[in-house]
Structure 1
Amino acid sequence: MLAVLVAFAGTVALPWRPLRHLAVCLLFAGWAALHGAHGMAARLPAEEEGQDVVVRGHVVDLPRARGGDASFLFVPESVEGAPPWSRGTLRLSWYRTPVSPAPCEHWQLTVRLRRPRGNVNPGGGDAERTALQRGIIATGYVRAAPDNARMGPGRCVDAWRDGVARSLDTHLGSDDARILKALAVGDTRGLDAADWDIARATGVSHLIAISGFHIGVAAGGGVLAVRLLYAWWPLLGLWLPRQLAQAVLGMLVAGGYGVLAGLGLPTVRTLLMIGVVVLAGMARRRAGGMSLLAFAMLAVLTFDPLSVLSAGFWLSFAGVGFLVCCVAPRSRGLAGWLGELLRAQAAMSIALLPLSLCLFGSTSLMGFVANLVAAPLVSFVVVPLTLLGCVLLPLPAIAVPLLAGAAWLLGRLWRMLAALAEVPGAQLSVAESGILPVVLATVGALWLFMPRGVPLRGYGALLFLPLLLPVRDMPRAGAFRVWVLDVGQGLAVVVRTRQHTLVYDTGPAYGGGRDAGAGIVLPSITALGLGPVDTLVVSHGDIDHAGGASAIVSRYPQARRLSGEPGRLGFPAEQCTSAADWSWNEVSFRFIEVPPAVQGKTASNDRSCVLAVEGDGGRFLLTGDISDKAERRIDREALWSDLPTVTTVAHHGSKHSSDVLWLRAVQPELAIVSAGWRNRFGHPHASVLARHEDAGADVLNTAVSGAIQVDLPRGAAPRVVREWRRPAGRYWRE
C-alpha cells in the first residue's frame, strides 16, 4: 500500500512528463500487486483442504449440466465456523445431482474444497492465474449429505439471462439456438468442442462471444430509433434535444445488452468508450480514438487491475488500438467503405497474429476470408434480429420469425465456416518463443500498415520471421530428451531424438468429451516444436493412460502404434514385443517383455509395455502400471545396464509397485512420479518414496513440479533441465 501511495504522489509532484508517465505505470503496477496479494490471501488455507464444510450462499453465472452432473459458481454468504476464507467465489461440481441448481438460487451445501490448482505444461493454460483473475478462492465438489437443500429462489440478471436462453431453446430447438444464445445472452453452454474448433480455425471466436463491436451496434440501434422517432415527431425536440435523447437511449441499449451478455471485458471496454463519447458530446468536446481507448483502459485497470492477467485484455485493447493507429476513413461511398473494410480486416488479421501465437500458440489463416463475410453478417443482420426478437419474446408471433431468420442465417454461415475449417493449413501453430520475437512481429505489423509514403513498408514482413520460424535446438545423434507431462492422475511422456518423436501414453479422458491427448499432449508437442509423432506407444488400455490416444491418432494417422493391450483401443495397433524394437539417430528403443502370470489371468496393469530408451549418455525406463508381481517376473538380464538410469515410477507410486529387488536391478538415479495433486489413492505412497530414497534415487512428482524435462545428452549424465511449475514470477502458482 505504501508503494502505491508513493507512486500516486509521484504522478502529481514530478515535473518532467516522462517521469510522471513512469510514476503512473508504477502506480498501476502497485495497485495490481495489492489486488493480487489480497486475492492470494483470500484463498482457502492449505490446512483446510479436503475437509467437508457446510456453506450457504447463492449460484452466480449460468450453471452447466451434462449427463446428470452439474458445475457452477457459488458465492458463500455464510460458512460453518465462519473461516477467514469465506469471502470469494467457489467453483463447484455436483456429480449425479438430483436437481441442477439454477442461477441466483440460494442453497445450503456440504462441500469438499481445495485451493485452485491446475496442470502446468508447455503450451498449456494457467488455471491458477485464471482463478486469481476471476476471484475464485477454492474449487471442489458437493458431497452427498442430507443437509443439502435449496433454500429459495433469488433475483438477479443471471436468472433473466437463463430465462431468455430457455425461451430460445423452446421456440427454436436447442441445436438451432445454440449459437444464437451466445450472441443474445453470452450463453455458450450449448456449444460443443467441434463448434469451438471451427471458431478457432476460422478466427471467429470473437463473434460467438459478445464483442465490443456488437455493443456498438446495439448503441447504434438506440441512436437510430431516436432519429426515426424525431423524424416522425419533430416537436419532441422542444422538450428534449435530439442529441441528448440519442446519447441516453444509445447508452441505455448498449448497457442493457452488456448486462444481459454478462459484462465481459470487451463489453466493459466498449461501454466505457461509448460513455466517454456521450459525455464529450454533451460537453461539446471532441474525443479522439486513442483518448477514448486510453480512458477505457484507465477505467478497467482502476476497477479490475488483475484483468491484465487475461488474454482478452491484451487482444481487446491491442486490436482496437491498432485499428485506431493504422486504419482511418479515406474515401466516401460504397467503394470507399468496402476498401476500408478490407484494410481493417487485413490489419486486424496481421496485427493480432503475433499476440495470438504468443498467447495461444496458434492462429487462424482463414480468419481474413471468414471475417469478411461473418463479421458484417453477424454484426449488422444477425445481432439486430436477435436483439429485436429477444425484446419481443412476450409477443411470440412477432419474435419467433425474427429469431428463426437469425438462426437460419447463422446455420448457413456455420456450414460455410465448417468448410473453411477443413481447408488444409487453416490454422497456423508455432513453437513457443520468447517475448522478443513477439515484439519484433508487432513492430513489423505496425510498419506494414504505416501511411503511404513511409519507406520500405513491405520489409515489415521480415520482422515476422523470428516468430514464424523459430530456431529449435534438437538433440545430437546418440542423445535424446524426455518430457513427462503433467496430466494429473495418469501418464503421458514425449521422447525426442534428433529427427523423431515418440509419445508413450496419452493421459486420461475427462468428462464432457475432453481428454489429455487433445488438451495437453498435442499443445505440448506444438509448443516444443517437436513436429509430427512417428510412434505412439499406449502401455495398456486403462483410461488414465489411453484416454487421449484417439486424439493423437486423429492428428497423426501415419504414426506407428503399439500397445500392451491393442484390443482395448479404438484403433488398430501392434502388440509391443521385443520383435518390435528399433533405433533412431543412434538411440535404441527396446521393449522389456513382462512374462504373463503363471496362474490365473494376467492383470491389465501387468500387461503394460515396459520401454527402455537408451542413448550414449543414459537410459530412460518407461514402466506403465506394472505391479511388484510383474516386476519379479521380468528377466534381470533384460533390466541390466551400465548406463545412468532415469525411470518413471510404476503405477503412479502405488505401494504395490517399485519393489526393492526391482530398484536394485534398475538402479535409478532419478525417478519421476506422474500423479494427481492430492489424489484419492494417496499416490505416491510413503513406502515407495522411502524405497527410492534407500536406493539412492532422487524423486520428482509432476503434481509438485508440473511437466518435467530431462535431457540425456551424449557423453554426459542425465539432467533435469526444467520443471514447468517452478519458474519465478508466477506468484499465483504454488
Structure 2
Amino acid sequence: MEASSPPTPSARLAPAPFGIATSLALVAGVGTCLVLPALPAWPWLAAAFAFGFAGWLRADRWRLCGALSLGFGLAGLHAASTMAQQLPPALEHQESVLSGRIVGLPQSEPRRTRFRMRIDRDPSQPAALRGQVVQLSWYDDFDAVAPGPRTALSAGARWRIRAKLRAPRSLRNPGGFDGERHALAERIVATGYVREPGTARALSPPAGIDAWREATSRSIARQVPRPSSRFVRALALGDTQALDDRDWEILRANGLTHLIAISGFHVGLAAGFFALFVLGLWRALPALARRAPRSQAAGVAALLGAGVYAAMAGFALPTLRTVLMIAVVVAARLWRRPPHPAQALALAAFALLSVDPLSALAPGFWLSFVGVAWLLWCLPRSTGSMLRDFFSAQGVAALGLLPLSAVLFGQASTAGPLANLIAVPWWSLVVVPLSLLGLAAEALNSGSGGMLWRLSAQTFEWSWPVFEALSDSGLAMRWLPEPAWYALPLALFGALWLLLPRGTPAKPLALLLWLPLLWPQRGLPGHGEAELTVIDVGQGLSVLVRTSGHALLYDTGPAVRDGFDAGERAVLPALHALGVPRLDKLVISHADNDHAGGAHAVRRVMAIASASAPDGAGLPQTRPCLAGTRWRWDGVEFRFLHPPRHFPYLGNEASCVLRIETAHGAALLTGDIGEVIERRLLREDPAAVRADVVQVAHHGSRSSSDPGFVAATGARYALLSAGYGNRFRHPNPAVVERWQRAGAETLSTLEGGALRIGLTADGITAQTRRQRLPRLWDATRRHERVSYRQDRTRPDVPEG
C-alpha cells in the first residue's frame, strides 16, 4: 500500500476551515460589505463569492482571504436580493387584496395592532409579494361604520385583507432608530395598513408554533392575574407586547434589556433541564446505556431542549447563537472530539452568517458574540469560588460591552453593574426556571402551570422595586453624543488593555482611550456662529438652533393618537446624540399637533429654562412670543418678527416667526404662516425677512411662499420639513420650483432626513443626514424621484 504524502508547509500553516481565524475573516467580510454606502453591481458580488468560496476550500494560507471575500460576496448578494424584492415604487400607495398567514405575535396597542403577514404564493396575489413578509397596522378608528375585528388577529391564522402598502422607509436622524436597516435584516419587503377592516376575513384558524406561543401567553395572563405576569410572559416566551414604555425605561436605565427578552442563558437552562432529565432516566434504567452512552444521550437531549425552547421564543438571535454552540459541542461529543469553547463560538458565528449574513445588521449579533468572546478570553478557568467567578464575569461583561452599547444605543447605564449583580442570579436562577417549569407542567396537563407561574411572578416582584428606585435616582442613565468612527476601536482596545492580567504596565493610561467615546467632541459653533438642525419628524416640524453655549428648540413635531410621538422617537434621540444636555429656550410656533405634539415628551426629559408660544394658543408653561422681543446669545441675535401684540390667535397665521442673525448669515423660521402674513412682514420690515436660510412655511403648502416674499428673502437654502407620502401632498411642486427659480437650493427632510445648516466663519454649509452617513439600504437610492402622491385616508405616521 502506497504511503500518503506528508502535508506541504503551506498546508500546515493554513488555518482550519471552521477555525477562529477563518470565522473572524468571514465576519470581517460581512461587516465590510454592510458598512458600504452602496452595493457593487451583482456580477462583482457573485465574483467575490465564487473567488472567496474557492479560496476558502484551499488548504493553504489563502484561506483567510477566501473567507473574507466569501463573507463580502455572501452579504452583498443577500442584501441585493432582499432590496430587489422590496415593493417597487410603482406599486406604492395602491390598495391590494392580500391573503396570507400571520407570523410572529401581533403587537396590540390601545388603538391599533401591528402584525407581520407572509403572503400566499397564490397566483391571485401581487407577483412582487408572493411568499414575502409585509408588516401591517390595523387601526380601530379607520372605518367608523365597520371598525373590524382587530382583536381577532391571532398568530398563525390566515387572513384575507385589503391593505395599502409602501416600501420600508423610516426617519433618519442622529441617534434615531433606523427602520430601513431593521426591515432589511428582517426581510420585510413592504409596510402598510389595513383598509376597510369590515371586509377582512379569517381564512383558517391559528396553527403552528406561534399560535401555541400566543395561546400559552394568554394562559399565563389568565392564570396569573397580577401585573407582573407580563414579565413572566416575556421571560418564558419572549412575548414583550404587554411591557409599556415605563417598563422599558426602567430596564434601559438599569441595563437589563438583555435579560428581559429571552437570552442565551435561558436557552442553556432549558438545555440543562433536558440533559438532567435524561441523565436521571439513564441512572434509573441502566439498561438504556446499552443502546446509547449516557453522556451522548444527555447531549442529544440538551440540543433537543435548546431547539424546542428557541422555537418557543421565536428563534431570536441570542437563542440561535446558543443553539448553534450547543449543537457544535454535542456534535463534537458524538464524534469524541470535544472542542474548545472559543472554537464552538467561532463555528456558531460561521454557521449563522453562512445562513443569514444580514443578521450582522442586528445589534444583538454583536452584543451576543462579543459578550461571550470577552468572557471566554478573560475567564479561561474557574477560580474555585462561585461568588468570585460571578463577580468577575459581571465585571468583564460590563467593561467589555460598554463600548458596543454606547455606540449601538447612544447610552450607558451607570447603575447597570449593580443592577446586573442583583438581576442576573435572581432572575436567571429563580424567576426563569420557575417560568420554564410552568411551561413544562402546562404542556403535560393544561392548567397545571399556574402555581409555578404565580411563584415566578411573586419572586420577580420582590426584585422589581429595587430597579424602579435605581431608575428614578437620576444617576442610572447617561446619554452619550454620537462619537467619531474611531472611538469604538480605541475604546475596545482600552477595554482589552484594562482586562489584561495583573501586572500589565500602564493600565491607567488605557482610560485615555475611552475619552473619544465617553466625552466626544460636540462640534459646537464658535462665538458669533450658529448651527441649525431640522430634525426629521415626518409630517411636522422641529428645528434645533445651537450657538457656542446655548440651545433653542423650535417646535417638537407631531404626536398622533396611533402611538407615534415625534418628541420621544425623533427629537429626544437627536438632542441626546448631538450632546444637548438642556434647552435654554423652547419655542412652539403654534398649537397645531404637527408642531406642538411632541412637547410633552420633550418637557418630561429635558430641563427647559423658558418657553414661548403665541398668546391664546392655550399651551401651558409658555410666555407669549411677541414681535420685537429680542435677545443675544454668544454673539448671535434672536428676534421675533410675528405675531405683534394683541394679534388674535388664528392657528397657522399666529405662528411665531423667529429671525436668527449671525455675523456670517441669517436664518428665518416661519412656522406655518400663510401668504397674508408673509406679505405683511414684507411691508413692515423688508430687511428683516432677508435671510440666507429660510424654513419654508407650512411644509411647502401652496397657501404659503408668496412670490414677493420668496424673492425678498434672497435665500441660498430653502428648508422643507414634510413626511413621505403625506396626505397633503406637501411640498407642493410649484412652491419648490418657485424657491428654486429665486436661486435657493431646496433641501427636504423627506428626501435627505435631518438637515444640518452651519452659519460659520467658513461660510454657510448644508448637509443632509443621508449625505453625511449614506447607507446601502437607503430608500432614496431605490427611488428615481420622491413620490408626492396623495393619501387622504390616514395622517402620515413615520415608521420606527
**Which of 349, 360, 381 is matched with 2:398 structurally?**
349
1:672 pairs with 2:719: yes
After superposition, what is the alpha-carbon deviation per residue over 1:168-210, rounded to whole angstroms, capped at 9, x for unaligned? 1111136221111111111011001111111111011011110
Q: 1:367 aligns with which of 416, 421, 442?
A: 416
**Distance (whole Å) between structure 2 residues aligned to residue 81 and residue 278 of structure 1:** 44
Aligned partner of 2:181: which letter? Answer: R
Query: Is the aligned partner of 1:547 residue 2:590?
Result: no
Tell whether the 8 Å contact from 2:148 to 2:198 is kept in structure 1 after alignment: no
Q: Which runs of 5+ in 2 are unaligned?
A: 1-45, 141-146, 781-800
One-letter amino acid matched to 1:371: N
Unaligned 5+ segments in structure 1 are none
Post-superposition offset of 1:80: 4.2
Evaluate the alpha carbon distance shift between residue 658 and residue 162 of structure 1 in structure 2; reply closer, same or farther with a 3 A threshold.
Answer: same
2:41 — aligned with what?
none
For 1:417 and 1:139, the matched residues in 2 are separated by 36
**1:167: how far off?**
0.3
* Separation in 1, partners of 2:127, 2:335: 50
Contact preservation (8 Å) 1:486, 1:702: yes
Q: CA deviation at 1:429?
A: 1.8
Superimposed CA distance per residue, residues 281-340 of structure 1 (whole angstroms, 9 cap, x where no aligned partner):
1222221111011000001001101111111111111101111011133422xxx11111
1:287 aligns with 2:339: yes
| C-alpha contact 1:578 1:593 (8 A) present in aligned 2 | yes
Partner residue of 2:264?
A: 212
Q: Which AA in structure 2 matches 1:464? A: W
1:471-550 aligned at under 5 Å gives the runs: 471-511=521-561, 513-550=563-600
Which residues of 2 match residues 360-509 of structure 1 at below 5 A?
Answer: 360-393=409-442, 395=445, 398-509=448-559
Change (3 A) 1:412 1:725: farther
**Letter in structure 1 aligned against 2:614:** G
Moved more, 622-631 or 28-37: 622-631
Deviation sequence 1:42-64 (CA, Å, 0-9, x none): 01111111111111111111112
Match of 2:216, SS state, is: helix
Distance 2:567 2:155 in 1: 33
- 1:14 is displaced (CA, Å) by 6.8
Cα deviation, residue 635, structure 1: 5.7
1:664 to partner: Cα distance: 3.2
* Aligned partners of 2:533 and 2:756 also within 8 Å: yes
Q: 1:645 aligns with which of 692, 698, 712?
A: 692
The amino acid across from 2:736 in the alignment is L
State the AA in 2 paired with 1:649: V
Task: Give CA deviations for 1:220-248 in whole Å, capped at 9, x if unaligned.
Answer: 11222233334444444344432122112
Q: Distance in 2 between matches of 1:86 and 1:703?
A: 29
In the alignment, what sits opposite 1:719?
765
State the alpha-carbon separation in 1 of the partners of residues 123 and 699 from structure 2.
Answer: 36
Is contact 2:690-2:713 (8 Å) kept?
no
Corresponding residue to 2:208 among 142, 150, 156: 156
Do residues 50 (structure 1) and 93 (structure 2) align?
Answer: yes
1:471 positional shift: 2.5
8 Å CA contact 1:430–1:468 kept in 2: the answer is: yes
Secondary structure of the corresponding residue to residue 352 of structure 1? helix
State the match for 2:144 in structure 1.
none
Q: Please state how far the C-alpha of 1:730 moved relative to its aligned partner.
A: 2.5
Partner Cα separation in structure 1 for residue 364 and residue 586 of structure 2: 36
Q: Please give the root-mean-square deviation of Cα atoms over the aligned residues, in Å.
A: 2.1
Selected match of 1:3 from 16, 35, 48: 48
Deviation at 1:2, TM superposition (A): 2.6
- Contact kept in structure 2, 1:448 and 1:459, CA below 8 Å: no
User: Kindly tell me: are residues 149 and 405 of structure 1, through their superposed partners in 2, closer, same or farther at Cα, counting changes over 3 Å?
Assistant: same
TM-score relative to the length of structure 2: 0.87
* CA distance, structure 1, for counterparts of residue 59 and residue 193 of structure 2: 52
Q: Assess if the C-alpha contact under 8 Å between 2:689 and 2:713 holds in 1.
A: no
Q: Could you tell me how far apart the structure 2 residues matched to 1:635 and 1:478 are?
A: 26
Q: Does the aligned pair in 2 maintain the 1:120–1:725 contact within 8 Å?
A: no
- Aligned counterparts, 1:76-95, within 5 A: 76-77=119-120, 78=122, 80=124, 82-95=126-139
Q: Is the 8 A contact 2:149 2:198 kept in 1?
A: no
> What's the CA shift for 1:590?
0.4
Residue 108 and residue 412 in structure 1: after superposition, are their counterparts in 2 closer, same or farther (change >3 A)?
Answer: same
The aligned amino acid for 1:625 is D
- Kindly state the Cα deviation for residue 667 of structure 1 after the two structures are TM-superposed: 2.8
Give distance in 2, aligned partners of 1:40 and 1:596.
55
Query: Match for 1:674: what amino acid?
Result: S
**Counterparts of 1:730 and 1:236, CA distance in 2:** 56
Question: 1:301-320 alignment to 2 at 5 Å?
Answer: 301-320=353-372
Amino acid of the structure 1 residue aligned with 2:137:
S
Indicate the larger mover: 501-510 or 624-633. 624-633
SS in 2 for 1:413: helix
State which drifts further: 601-610 or 227-236. Answer: 227-236
* 1:74 is the counterpart of 2:74: no
Contact conserved, 1:56 with 1:79, CA < 8 A, in 2? no
Q: 1:666 to 1:327 in 2, by over 3 A?
A: same
Do 2:534 and 2:754's aligned partners in 1 also have CA atoms closer than 8 Å?
yes
C-alpha displacement at 1:633, in angstroms?
3.3
* Local SS of the residue matching 1:58: strand
2:755 alignment counterpart: 708
Q: C-alpha displacement at 1:415, in angstroms?
A: 1.4
User: Residues 427-455 of structure 1: CA distance to partner in whole angstroms, max 9, x if unpaired?
Assistant: 12221112311111111111211223433
Indicate if the aligned counterparts of 2:616 and 2:649 stay in contact, CA closer than 8 A. no
1:695 CA displacement: 2.4
Query: After superposition, what is the alpha-carbon deviation per residue over 1:524-547, rounded to whole angstroms, capped at 9, x for unaligned?
Result: 122122332111111111111111
Q: Secondary structure of 1:381's match?
A: helix
CA 1:267–1:511: 2 relative to 1, 3 Å? farther
Residue aligning to 2:663: 616
Q: Distance in 1 between matches of 2:555 and 2:539?
A: 12
Q: In the superposition, relative to structure 1, how do residues 722 and 55 fare at CA in structure 2: closer, same or farther (>3 Å)?
A: closer
For 1:270, the aligned partner's letter is T
Percent identity at matched positions?
Answer: 40
Task: Assess, with a 3 A threshold, how the Cα gap between structure 1 residues 501 and 79 changes in structure 2: closer, same or farther.
Answer: farther
Deviates more, 1:396-405 or 1:303-312: 396-405
Measure how far apart 1:216 and its partner are. 0.6
Greater Cα shift, 164-173 or 659-668: 659-668
CA distance in 2, matches of 1:257, 1:290: 24
Letter in 1 for 2:635: E
- C-alpha distance after superposition, 1:270-289 (max 9, x if no partner): 00101111111122222111
Residue aligning to 1:21: 64
Distance 1:612 1:86 in 2: 53
Using the TM superposition, give the Cα deviation of residue 501 of structure 1 relative to its aligned residue in structure 2, in angstroms: 0.5
SS at match of 2:766: strand
TM-score w.r.t. the length of structure 1 is 0.95
